[in-house]
A and B are shown apart, each in its own frame.
Chain A
Amino acid sequence: MSVSETLPPQSGVSPDTEAELAELLRGGGDAWAVQGGNTRGVRCNAKTLSTAAMAGVTLYEPGALTLVARAGTPVSEIEETLAQDNQRLAFEPMDHRQLLGTSGTPTIGGVFAANVSGPRRMTVGAARDFLLGVRFVDGKGDVVKNGGRVMKNVTGYDLVKLMAGSFGTLGVLTEVSLKVLPRPETEATLVLNGLSDAEAIQAMAQAMGSPFEVTGAAHDPASSKTYLRIEGFEQSVSYRGGRLRDLLAEKAGEAEIEEAEASAETWRTLRDVTPFAGRKGDVWSLSCKPSDAPAIAERSGAQSVLYDWGGGRLWCLASAGHDVRAAVGVFAGHATLVRAGADTFDRLGRFHPEAPGVAQLAAALRHRFDPHSRLNPGLMARAT
């Protein structure tokens, strides 16, 4: 079974209810390519099983910071609902459409199935940290729930985390319950100019190690700009922006401050890796120790890189088919292939190979939840 983003969509199904989905999977037989809005370039050579028809926000309690929605609910619908009460998805999920050239409507189920987080991840946590509860149908057609809709819950094993980032290989999400946060009054971004990659990493570490609550730290070598975001109440943002500028005075000689709207636009661009959109080549995302990032970037053989999460996430634009993993060699972290041609996905695999002990556990878990390999077969661990 090959995994590719260029396969033509095959005919598929889109169950209206969880019961219908369970019935379908209980029936045995076909393998399915599980998808939400099909915007993240994850595809399997199988008939599509879409969650798009199971949609709608079922509960929203702003005073409890919780929202429950069916998996196929468009992310935009959730963001609009939250905006009415001045709240938001704090983990800032990336929209992959521009980078991957996909169309369609991103769904909340897709966000969690792929554990998609943006720049704010480094401070507030990843998508998985905001997922409070799930309902899903496993590969045997069993309906399973785990977690709930409260922020603190240690009742039994945390299958909620296991489902986040499992890319539909353990079960098809039908409902998610999540923690949301207040939208801050305003934001601003301190932009440092002219730093080398290593200097930028150091400046970001200094900022992140300060009490001024930086919620975004990114560096773009192409423009030699380093971005530090601060959010909160107006007077607090201006106070912390000033303190941060003082703290980085030596490095911030030429610093500018972007106010609310300009700042928001900057981070939308960084979140969606817009600098790589429309440019030829493969896109990789590496998770690493921030201080290792410049050396990894150097070894990667990439044409362009972009540092997010203070250097903890390294975006690489490499020539088509170039094996960034092989070029970098052993490092503390992992490299995910995000955009490439079908042959490259087939050859290199989307995900970083795991150590044997961990790979064995992961394979055994997938086998327990999907014994007949019917859900996104081969996506997370390629048949060897």
Chain B
Amino acid sequence: MEMPVPDAGVLARKARVADRLRKVLPADAVIEDPRETKAYECDALTAYKCPPMLAVLPATTEEVSDVLRICSEEGVPVVPRGSGTSLAGGALPTADCVILGVSRMNEVLETDYDNRFVRVQTGRTNLSVTGAVEEEGFFYAPDPSSQLACAIAGNIAMNSGGAHCLKYGVTTNNLLGVRMVLMDGEIIDIGGPYMDAGGLDLLGLVCGSEGQLGIVTEATLRILPKPEGARPVLIGFDDNEVAGACVSDIIRAGVLPVAIEFMDRPCIEATEAFAHAGYPMCEALLIVEVEGSDAEIDHQLSLITEIARGHNPVELRESTSAEESAKIWLGRKSAFGAMGQINDYMCLDGTIPVSALPMVLRRIGEMSKSYGLKVGNVFHAGDGNMHPLILFDANKPGDLELCEEFGSEILKLCVEAGGCLTGEHGVGIEKRDLMHVQYDAADLEAQMAVKDVFDPAWLLNPAKVFPLDASATRREKALAAE
């Protein structure tokens, strides 16, 4: 993975920059010892590592503003970091950057049940937002699988999704307002505890901008009342295509499950060996979950099982208790861990129209044979968000490169099928150079024009999202202007 050459001028100013930062932050919030900055050398995409020049841990919006103003004046790139759970390298440092971690900003600032919102500092973890409101019977809907660890800051940067977005939407659909700091230190508020922030939809633009437009320090999030109950049904098929058709039929029938999860045979075998969830050995397995009162759940599940029966399932297991529900989810929730037991894996995130599911699964199977690398597919079928897991051996020379090439081919296939490169993980560095596959020059130009407006010197997370060749002129011009 190519990264820009570190700026020697910036590296030479390290001591001065650190001095200036110490003047505006507590002593323990500026980290420059290489033994300590190493902790920030990568995120969850661990194949790539690079310790930053410095790391800072501000505790307030004002401190973030001071840091950005100083870095802006010194021409130092800043890489924002939530909890470092990005699978796309969104928080990967460059050697000449300052990592700005938001982990010390994790307070709940306001809860309002009548108006159904919560205002939090963005270092707070996703799950602990729900934790702050669940006693009153509310929850925060987006539920990325890293929700125990991932920060709201990162959720906003990547517009994170989760298993339940078929019904509840992703981060952008649940975000009402932000307080954010621009690269020059200016603090702005967009939206608030009301619907549809006025004017141009800057809130929608900021959400999913991968920390390239500003650093969000506070967020106003929509909270929802918890449903009365939820229960899944597990359906096994001896054919991928039939499972795909069943998903489509369920949606067409007017039932809107909160989640439809899909696992293929390699994945079922791996999870069964690992978690012993009692899954049937078949080609494809669906977990469909619905919500409501007991009677409502019964009614919806009866409609779903009726549709499923029309497709000759090899297994149909309706949960009748909390224990059975937990068992059905057990395998799905341990799928990534189970695959990790077999070998190293790379997790992709392409999204496709649900109708293209059978074709895409077939082609991935063919490619798997020709590359000689195993793939397990586990994904959110209701919204077409695939998660192919490619197994490889990191200790075997050339295997990572082969795996990356295979991954690129799968993502190109997703785009070809009418989908996109990434459904919820973000572009980061991982898919940066594939952006040309999905977007023409004019499409990328329009997006980069947005960054020009928010961060004219291209100092915020500059080497991400856009192919390096496409952003080169802008980054170099900014460098020359120093």
Which of B31-39, B264-272, B392-400, B413-421 binds A?
Answer: B413-421
A145 touches B115 (CB 8 A): no
Q: Is B23 an interface residue (CB 8 A)?
A: no
Give the contacts of B335-366 with A (CB-CB under 8 A). Answer: 351-355
Q: Is B383 an interface residue (CB 8 A)?
A: yes
Provide the bound-state CA to CA distance between A208 and B112, in Å: 13
Give the contacts of A155-187 with B (CB-CB under 8 A). Answer: 155-162, 164-166, 169-170, 181-185
B193, B355, B438, B439, most chain A CB atoms within 10 A: B193
Q: Is B431 an interface residue (CB 8 A)?
A: yes
Give the contacts of B305-361 with A (CB-CB under 8 A). Answer: 351-355
Closest B residue to A164 by beta carbon equals B201
A236 touches B296 (CB 8 A): yes
Q: Is A291 an interface residue (CB 8 A)?
A: yes
- Residues on A with beta carbons closer than 8 Å to the beta carbon of B204: 128, 158, 160-162, 164
A142 touches B420 (CB 8 A): no
A209 touches B188 (CB 8 A): no
B353 touches A149 (CB 8 A): yes
Give the contacts of A79-126 with B (CB-CB under 8 A). Answer: 85-86, 115, 117, 121-122, 125-126
Give the contacts of B161-194 with A (CB-CB under 8 A). Answer: 161, 165-166, 169-170, 172-173, 182, 186-190, 192-194
B203, B353, B465, most chain A CB atoms within 10 A: B353
- Residues on A with beta carbons closer than 8 Å to the beta carbon of B445: 142
Given contacts A85-B252, A150-B419, A239-B295, contact A287 B196 (CB under 8 A): yes
- Residues on A with beta carbons closer than 8 Å to the beta carbon of B256: 181-182
- Residues on B with beta carbons closer than 8 Å to the beta carbon of A336: 198
Provide the bound-state CA to CA distance between A336 and B440, in Å: 36
Give the contacts of A9-66 with B (CB-CB under 8 A). Answer: 61-66
Specify which of B188, B193, B197, B354 is in contact with A64 (CB 8 Å cutoff).
Answer: B354
Provide the bound-state CA to CA distance between A239 and B249, in Å: 26
Closest A residue to B351 by beta carbon equals A150
Closest chain B CB from A358 CB (angstroms): 6
B443 touches A144 (CB 8 A): yes
Q: Is B461 an interface residue (CB 8 A)?
A: no
A154 touches B447 (CB 8 A): no
Closest chain B CB from A277 CB (angstroms): 23
Given contacts A63-B354, A154-B158, A236-B296, contact A362 B199 (CB under 8 A): yes
Interface bits B421-460 vs A (CB < 8 Å: 1, else 0): 1111111000100010011101111110111111000000
Closest B residue to A234 by beta carbon equals B299
Provide the bound-state CA to CA distance between A122 and B194, in Å: 10
Specify which of A146, A153, A155, A182 is in contact with B431 (CB 8 Å cutoff).
Answer: A155
Closest chain A CB from B185 CB (angstroms): 11
Specify which of B194, B427, B431 is in contact with A288 (CB 8 Å cutoff).
Answer: B194
B202 touches A362 (CB 8 A): yes
Provide the bound-state CA to CA distance between A334 and B446, in Å: 28
Q: Is A355 an interface residue (CB 8 A)?
A: yes
B300 touches A233 (CB 8 A): yes
B421 touches A362 (CB 8 A): no
Which of A189-197, A249-257, A267-275, A363-371 binds B?
Answer: A363-371
B420 touches A208 (CB 8 A): no
Provide the bound-state CA to CA distance between A205 and B353, in Å: 37
Give the contacts of A344-384 with B (CB-CB under 8 A). Answer: 351-352, 354-355, 357-359, 361-362, 364-366, 368-369, 380
Closest chain A CB from B411 CB (angstroms): 10
Interface bits A63-76 vs B (CB < 8 Å: 1, else 0): 11110000000000
Provide the bound-state CA to CA distance between A164 and B226, in Å: 30
Interface bits B461-478 vs A (CB < 8 Å: 1, else 0): 000011000000000000
Q: Is B15 an interface residue (CB 8 A)?
A: no
Provide the bound-state CA to CA distance between A309 and B194, in Å: 10
Closest chain B CB from A311 CB (angstroms): 9
B292 touches A162 (CB 8 A): no
Q: Is B195 an interface residue (CB 8 A)?
A: yes
Closest chain A CB from B297 CB (angstroms): 10
Closest A residue to B446 by beta carbon equals A144
Q: Is B6 an interface residue (CB 8 A)?
A: no
Instruction: Report the interface size for chain B: residues with CB under 8 A from the other chain.
Output: 96
Provide the bound-state CA to CA distance between A359 and B452, in Å: 16
- Residues on A with beta carbons closer than 8 Å to the beta carbon of B419: 148, 150
Provide the bound-state CA to CA distance between A128 and B203, in Å: 11
Q: Is B200 an interface residue (CB 8 A)?
A: yes
Provide the bound-state CA to CA distance between A324 and B254, in Å: 43
Provide the bound-state CA to CA distance between A107 and B453, in Å: 31
- Residues on A with beta carbons closer than 8 Å to the beta carbon of B368: none
B446 touches A362 (CB 8 A): no
A125 touches B169 (CB 8 A): yes
- Residues on A with beta carbons closer than 8 Å to the beta carbon of B385: 150-152
Q: Is B371 an interface residue (CB 8 A)?
A: no
Provide the bound-state CA to CA distance between A157 and B208, in Å: 6
Interface bits B141-171 vs A (CB < 8 Å: 1, else 0): 0000000000000000011010001100110
Closest chain A CB from B152 CB (angstroms): 16
- Residues on B with beta carbons closer than 8 Å to the beta carbon of A290: 114-115
Specify which of A64, A165, A333 is in contact with B353 (CB 8 Å cutoff).
Answer: A64
Closest chain A CB from B143 CB (angstroms): 13
Give the contacts of A222-247 with B (CB-CB under 8 A). Answer: 232-233, 235-236, 239-240
- Residues on B with beta carbons closer than 8 Å to the beta carbon of A342: none
Q: Is B81 an interface residue (CB 8 A)?
A: no
B196 touches A156 (CB 8 A): no
- Residues on B with beta carbons closer than 8 Å to the beta carbon of A232: 296
Closest chain A CB from B340 CB (angstroms): 24
- Residues on B with beta carbons closer than 8 Å to the beta carbon of A6: none
Q: Is A289 an interface residue (CB 8 A)?
A: yes
A150 touches B254 (CB 8 A): no
- Residues on A with beta carbons closer than 8 Å to the beta carbon of B447: 146, 156-157, 159
Pairs across A and B, CB under 8 Å, 13 listed: A63-B248, A64-B355, A126-B195, A152-B424, A156-B466, A158-B207, A164-B201, A170-B200, A239-B295, A334-B194, A357-B186, A361-B202, A365-B450
Chain A residues packing against B (C-beta within 8 Å): 61-66, 85-86, 115, 117, 121-122, 125-126, 128-129, 138, 142-146, 148-162, 164-166, 169-170, 181-185, 202, 205, 208-211, 232-233, 235-236, 239-240, 287-291, 309, 312-313, 332-334, 336, 351-352, 354-355, 357-359, 361-362, 364-366, 368-369, 380
Given A151-B351, A155-B435, 18 other A-B residues pairs in contact with their CB atoms under 8 A? A61-B353, A61-B354, A85-B252, A121-B195, A148-B420, A150-B419, A153-B423, A154-B423, A158-B207, A158-B209, A161-B203, A233-B299, A287-B195, A332-B192, A333-B192, A357-B186, A357-B188, A358-B202
User: 8 tightest CB-CB pairs across the interface, nearest first?
Assistant: A161-B204, A63-B248, A334-B198, A152-B423, A182-B254, A357-B188, A151-B383, A64-B354
